[in-house]
Structure 1
Amino acid sequence: MTKYHFSIQLLILFQLSSIISAIRKDIGFQQIRSCRNTVQGRYLLSDDNGHVCDALSVDPQSRCCPENGSRFSCQGCNLVSQCCNSYEFCVSCCLHPSRTQEAQVLRVKISKPSTAVSYTSVFDFCAGRCRHNSESVVHENAYLSDFHHCFSLPSNSSGANYTQLEARLGGINVVIGKQGESCDSACKSYGQSCVLNKLLVLNQCDM
């Protein structure tokens, strides 16, 4: 074998090695994105990343909403009362780390103390809390207002304190009525109007 042929073989071997190396560097496994979502509304849903989308836009494989929309949206929510007029936006708003502290919600009990278990994630808390909230109903069969999807911590949880309750009464003038007098009557006598969804806050013993 001549020196010339040996050089050609080395060159071909080097080129093949470079091609194989380049191919191996390009090969990789993309991480499969997966989401949990509310799967409740007829038209909208919220995923555990805080995105809201319509049912037709959700990815059928990952079950995630498109990321081109706003995240942690509080559309239709009252940030003082922490209540919303839409279940899906309640969940999205609740998922914002500045509004819901993971360390607090993981201590919240789901049911009565004797059979209680804790939430396993912030998404579980938000999805469950926004769906049914005893503090947003009156007489156990009617909502206090259209803003009945609430994500505030339960009043008997360790995370709820006087400061939070005081914030929920921001802008409200408290008047004292006579025994048996309705909220409307008591407020009208002072030239005010009754705000029904604040009565449960006022009637808490820890105030």
Structure 2
Amino acid sequence: MLELKSISKIPPKIISNFLLICLAWHLIILELGSTVSAIRKDVSLQENRHCRTTVQGRYLLSDDNGYVCDALSVDPKSRCCPIRGEQFSCHGCNLVSQCCNSYEYCVSCCLNPARTQKDLVLKLKTAKPVSAGTYSSIFDYCAGRCRHNSESVVHENAYLSDFHHCFSLPSNSSGDSDVQIEARLVGIKIIAGRQGESCDSVCKSNGQSCVPNKLALLNQCQIMQKYFSCKGSCLASIGADQPAEVVDDAPNDLNPGACLYTEKQSILSCDGSHQHTRRLCPCA
């Protein structure tokens, strides 16, 4: 009773102020708790997020999430580009030939799952030797393929065009459509040679040179049938003179009139020839 009486003697204004102070402290504690929680969540996200990036460009780079940014915009901790702009951007790219005029945008475009099939890429060898390993990720493939692509080079010391950063699968593994193959032959003049001529001779007689890294694209039945009659047959063979058509007056055991493609593409060459065939040659 004494305690109640003593409390009742406290002025109502003091009690009201005391309650307001208690409420204010309660709100402050709740706010600090949520802020700390949010900070911890942000830190956790930043720690878990880490990107691989290209290093070739002087000003731009692409991260493995498919974003392109300038070097100053990269997060110093995560090494990721800011998540803004277009992901998997194909800016400056020809989507038919799958070639771009910028290395970084080539990588970005290539990383799009709709354009590059992971199951195919991870089976590809990183180089021609049998002992070469395969790509460990799509980013490794895109970063490597966009940088080094022999099909975009002519005469080993010049580019066919400004669009020389290409991410298309190698010509012997992609199953390209005719449109894609034609796009990859832009800048190349395809000439059917005379009987017994090598492609070096065929191209030279037209004031050009043979482009050896394009022979594999011509080494396909659907392409040869556009330039030769093929007499209804296209046969697998092995020879440095291929792709080629067997001349009509060849011995019967050589299949006169048939088109020939080689299954051993490593022997394709510009200087190969055969007395009974006409070669199909890429010149530039």
| Same fold, TM-score > 0.5, yes or no | yes
Matched, 1:73 2:89: yes
Matches within 5 A, 1:1-207: 27=37, 28-30=40-42, 31-32=45-46, 33-157=49-173, 160-161=174-175, 164-169=176-181, 176-179=191-194, 180-182=201-203, 199-200=214-215, 202-205=217-220
Aligned-residue sequence identity (percent) comes to 58
Contact (CA 8 Å) 1:165, 1:201: kept in 2 or not? Answer: no
Number of residue pairs matched by the alignment: 189
Contact (CA 8 Å) 1:38, 1:47: kept in 2 or not? Answer: yes
Greater shift, 53-62 or 175-184, is seen at 175-184
| Aligned AA (1:152) | S
Contact (CA 8 Å) 1:34, 1:62: kept in 2 or not? Answer: yes
Contact (CA 8 Å) 2:51, 2:64: kept in 1 or not? Answer: yes
Greater shift, 164-173 or 55-64, is seen at 164-173
CA separation of 1:178/1:199 partners in 2, compared to 1, >3 Å: closer, same or farther? same
Higher Rg: 2
CA separation of 1:206/1:89 partners in 2, compared to 1, >3 Å: closer, same or farther? farther
How far apart, CA to CA, are the structure 1 residues paired with 2:122 and 2:93? 23
| Aligned AA (1:41) | G
Contact (CA 8 Å) 2:191, 2:202: kept in 1 or not? Answer: no
How far apart, CA to CA, are the structure 2 residues paired with 1:131 and 1:55? 19
**Offset of 1:58 from its aligned partner?**
1.4
**Offset of 1:82 from its aligned partner?**
0.6
| Larger strand share, 1 or 2 | 2
- Secondary structure at the aligned position of 1:114 is classed as coil
| Aligned AA (2:161) | S
- Secondary structure at the aligned position of 2:130 is classed as helix
| Aligned AA (2:119) | A
CA separation of 1:183/1:82 partners in 2, compared to 1, >3 Å: closer, same or farther? farther
| Structure 2 stretches lacking a partner, 5+ long | 4-22, 195-200, 223-284
CA deviations over 1:170-193 (Å, ceiling 9, x no partner): 58899644444449959xxxxxxx
Q: Which residue of 2 aligns with 1:9?
A: none
TM-score (ref. length: structure 2): 0.55
- Secondary structure at the aligned position of 1:45 is classed as strand
- C-alpha RMSD of matched pairs (Å): 3.6
